[in-house]
Each structure stands twice: as structure tokens, then as C-alpha cells.
Amino acid sequence: MDERRIDTLWSHVHGLTVLGMLGSYTAAARRLGLSKAAMSQRITELERAAGVALVQRTTRSVRLTEAGQQLVDTTRGAFESIGTAFAGIRDLAATPRGLLRVTAPVALARQQLLPCLPAFLRAHPEVRIELDLSDRLVSLAQEGFDLAIRHTATPPETHVAWRLCGTHSVLVASRAYLRRRGTPAEPADLAGHDCLHYLRPGEAPAWQLVRQGGGPPAKLTVPVAGCLAANNSEALREAALGGLGIALLPDFSAQAALRAGRLVPVLPGWQPQGSFAEQVFALRPYSAHVPRAVQALVAHLRLAFQAGFGA
């Protein structure tokens, strides 16, 4: 096989690697900046040259055959080395540049991440950001994200993790609700209130509360019930603002309403624990090289988050 043919097939092998990782012609084509038809043609040419099927196509998914997986496994290290070397060469320049694909939970992104980005992008005009707002835990490597912002207590050991800030949970309600239903004096009083809780399928709704300040140490688990549950802290905050009950929220969801006096703390002598993580991290799959643009964004977010969190 002549060298020009090998050079062409080398790029096709990279396409096969991306296809195997994403499991979709559409997603692989988007990642590589190709049309779906061009992506399919590359795989067809590669299979013709190999003389064996490399991809198993079904109506719902795309999987590599045993031969295709063997080819990908054999060449993956080479492509990773090329990517690392190229990224290092690009970062010899002092200016961060390039596209950053970032994923973050919806509420955290809307309330804390998005307000930070205009200043960062003005300071780094050669950086572009694609932001995915999703509460699902995506696979960073498989879906091609450079960075994830996560509200978690235990970042995965397979990732580089930068701690951005601490966070805590708060119990809040509107003044109108407390005038109508009364203000709880002890955790047991929550049994007589509508408690707006975060929806976690398969878990009985309960809040863990730890006594703060004076008095003997105490940790209680209090069963709760209410007229509304939701799997989004912004939805719970809006329900609390509407006077529907007492909500347990992460501080970043509650802080603006608390500062404005639209919500007030409930049971301030008790600290909620366990419902939301107490750390916010930036995560990236482990690699020997971290692009300068990623480093710059993490540094910017650490300063902004540490200044902006807390009610």
C-alpha cells in the first residue's frame, strides 16, 4: 500500500476511534466537523482497505466489531500522544485560545457560572466556550468535554479535580408562609409544615439536621412531606417564594432571595447536611497536559465562586 493511501487511512482510523467512543455517526461527524455522509464514507473506505467489517450497525446504535475494537485499542495510545503533543505546542503561546466544551448542572450554571463568563471571555478573546447545561452525569471523555463543574463531595479518582469553593445547604421560607403557618422552633415542628424537598426516586423524603452553636451536640433525621417535590433547586426556590412551604436549598439557589429579604432562614440553629454536597469542583479527565485555556478558566472560576458563594 502506497504512503499516500496510508496517510488517508490514518485519518480514517481516528474517525473509527471517535465513532467507537461516541456510538453514533451523527455525534462522531459533529465532533470531527464532517457531514454524516462523509463520516460514513470514511468508515466504508477503511473497511474496504481492511477487508473486514469494523462496525456493526443496528437500527438503534453503532458498535465496533471485534476487529474494529482491536484496531482502535492498538492505535489509541498513538492518537492520545499526538493530541497531547499538539496541545503542548499550541500552549507555547502565552495567550489562552481555542474551544472549551464545559458541562454544568442547570441551577448552578444559571446562577453562578453564567454570570462569571462575560468577564472571562472579555479577558480572553481567543477562547470560545460551548456550555452544556444538564443535571445528568455525562462521561467527559466519551462526550468530548474539556471541563465539568460539579457539586460533589467525592470527585472521581480518574479525573483531575480543582476545588472551586465550599457550599452549604439552608432551610428557607417566605415571610407570608411563616405568618400563615407559624415558624418552626425545633426540627420536630417540621412535621406540621409543607416541606418542599428535592426529588430523588427511591428515597423516602427526610432531612438530616445538625445542631449548631449552643446546646448539646445533636444530629436528627426528620421525615418530611409537602405539596411539592422537584429535582431542581430553582423550582424549589420559586415554590418557596410563592409561599408553598419550607424549602431545603443549596446556598447558591437561595442567596439572592435571602439578601433581598424575599426568603428568610428557618431553624437557623440547625444545619442541614447530606442533601447536597458541600464542595464545588471543576473536573477534567486525567491527562499529562492541561490546556492553558482550561487553566485560565479554572483560576477565574475559583476566584469568582469563592467571592460569590454563601448567603
- 36 Cβ neighbours under 8 A, 6+ residues apart: 25, 26, 29
From first to last of its 311 residues, the chain has per-residue pLDDT tens of 444 555 567 778 888 888 887 888 888 888 888 888 888 888 888 888 888 888 887 766 788 888 888 888 887 777 666 666 665 665 555 688 889 999 998 889 998 899 999 999 999 999 999 999 987 766 676 677 899 999 888 887 778 889 999 989 999 999 999 999 999 999 999 999 999 999 888 788 999 999 987 666 789 999 999 999 998 999 999 999 999 999 999 998 998 999 999 999 999 999 998 888 889 999 998 777 788 999 999 999 999 998 766 44
CATH topology of 3-90 equal to that of 98-167+278-308?
Answer: no
Q: Sign (positive/negative) of CA torsion 162, 144, 79, 83?
A: negative
Answer yes or no: CATH 3.40.190.290 is held by domain 169-273: yes
Burial class (CB in 10 A: 0-12, 13-18, 19+), 144: middle
Q: Per-domain residue ranges for the chain? A: 3-90, 98-167+278-308, 169-273
Distance (Å) of CA 106 to CA 39, 109, 132, 134: 32, 5, 9, 5
Q: Which CATH architecture has domain 98-167+278-308?
A: 3-Layer(aba) Sandwich (3.40)
Nearest alpha-carbon partner for 206 in 278, 273, 279: 273
Cell of 181: 403557618
Sheet architecture: strand order including 195-198:
229-230, 195-198, 246-250, 169-173, 264-265
For residues 199, 203, 204, 207, the Cα torsion angle rounded to the nearest 10 degrees is -70
H helix or E strand, kind and range, residue 128: strand 127-133
How far apart (Å, rounded) are the C-alpha atoms in residues 69 and 81? 19
Question: What predicted TM-score, i.e. pTM, was given to this entire model?
Answer: 0.66
Contacts for 89-94: CB closer than 8 Å, 24+ residues apart: 90/291, 91/289, 91/291, 91/292, 93/292
What CATH number does domain 3-90 carry, 3.30.1120.10, 3.40.50.300, 1.10.10.10, 3.60.21.10? 1.10.10.10
Of 99, 117, 94, residue with least CA distance to 301: 117
Alpha-carbon separation of residue 185 from 57, 126, 265, 295 (angstroms)? 62, 54, 12, 47
**Predicted pLDDT at 277:** 84
* Integer Cα distance of 283 and 277 in angstroms: 15
Residue 8's pLDDT is: 61
The pLDDT of residue 311 is 43
